[in-house]
Amino acid sequence: MLTLILENYQAILSGFKITLFIFFTTVIFWILCWVLFAYISINNKRVKTIIDLVYIIFISIPVIVLLFWFHYPLQIILNITISPIITTIVTLSIINILGIYKIIYKKIKYIKEKYSNFSSIIGINTKNIRKKIEYPLLFRKSIDEVLSYQINILHMTLFASLISVNDIFRVAHQINASTYKSIEIYTLIGIIFLLISLSINLLIIYLKKKYNYDYSG
C-alpha cells in the first residue's frame, strides 16, 4: 500500500482536498440557516408545515437520485449550467439543512418549554433569555447530534464522483483502473474516512464530558 501511495500521492491528495472542500463548505456555510429555520418555525406554524413537507420529500428520495436530478434534468429545465462540484455542495447542503433542522427544532422547543417560560416569569427580557439561556443550552444539547449527522454528510460526499467530481473516490477508481490494486486503494479510502469519522466522534465524546449533558430532554 505504501508504494501505491507514493506513486499516486499527488492524485490522492488532490482528490482528498476536493472531498474536504465539499464537506466543510456544506457544513460551515449553512450553520446559521439551521438555527434560523428552527426559530422561525417555532413562531410560525405555516413555515413549519412547509419545511416539514420539504423534509419529508427529500428524505423519501435517495441522495444519489437527488444528486443526478440536480445535475442534469433540473439544469436542462432551467437552461443553466452549474459545475458538478457546486451541484454537489448545493444538494448536500439542502440535505444537511433539513436534517439538522429537525434536531435543532426539537431542542429549541424543549428549551423554551423548560427554561424560557421560567425566565420570563422572573423578569428576564427576551433578548437576554436568548443570549444567556437559549443559545448556550441549544449549543450544549444539540452539538453532539449535529456533529454525528455531519459524519453522514461526509460519507455522502462519495456520491459526487458519480457526477464527474474528481473527489477522492473518483481518484481511487482511476488509480484502480490503471493499477488493478483494488484492495489497497479502497482500503486506503476506508482508512481515510475512518480517521476523519473517529476524529469527529472523539470531539463529540470530549464535548459530552465538558458540558456534562443532561439527556432527560
Q: What is the pLDDT of residues 155-182, one digit of tens each?
A: 999 999 989 898 999 999 999 998 888 8
Per-residue model confidence (pLDDT) at position 132: 73
pLDDT, residue 30, reads 66
Whether residue 174 lies inside any domain: the answer is yes
Do residues 98 and 58 make contact, with C-beta atoms less than 8 angstroms apart? yes
Amino acid at site 82: I
- Is residue 154 one of the residues assigned to a domain? yes
> Residue 199 burial (CB < 10 Å; 0-12/13-18/19+)?
exposed
Measured CA angle at 154 (ends 149, 160), to 5 deg: 130
Q: What local confidence, expressed as pLDDT, does residue 216 receive?
A: 46
Number of separate domains in the chain: 1
Confidence at residue 67, expressed as pLDDT on a 0 to 100 scale:
93
> Residue 145 falls within a domain, yes or no?
yes
96 lies in some domain: yes
Q: Would residue 217 count as lying in a domain? A: no
Q: Is residue 104 part of a domain?
A: yes
| Predicted pLDDT at 52 | 86
The secondary structure of residue 147, as a DSSP letter, is: H
113: which 3 cell numbers?
A: 418549554
Q: Which three cell numbers stand for residue 107?
A: 431542542
Which CATH number does the domain housing residue 103 bear? 1.10.3720.10
What's phi and psi for 31, nearest 5 deg?
-55, -50
Residue 189 is part of which domain span? 2-211
In-domain check, residue 103: yes
Q: What does the pLDDT read at residue 195?
A: 95
> Residue 200 and residue 127: Cα distance in Å, rounded?
32
- From the number of C-beta atoms within 10 Å of its C-beta (0-12, 13-18, 19+), residue 6 rates as exposed
In a domain, 216, yes or no: no
pLDDT of residue 191: 94
The mean pLDDT values, 10 residues at a time, for the chain of 217 residues are 83 93 84 68 78 89 93 91 92 89 82 67 67 78 88 93 90 90 92 94 88 54
- pLDDT (0 to 100) of residue 34: 65
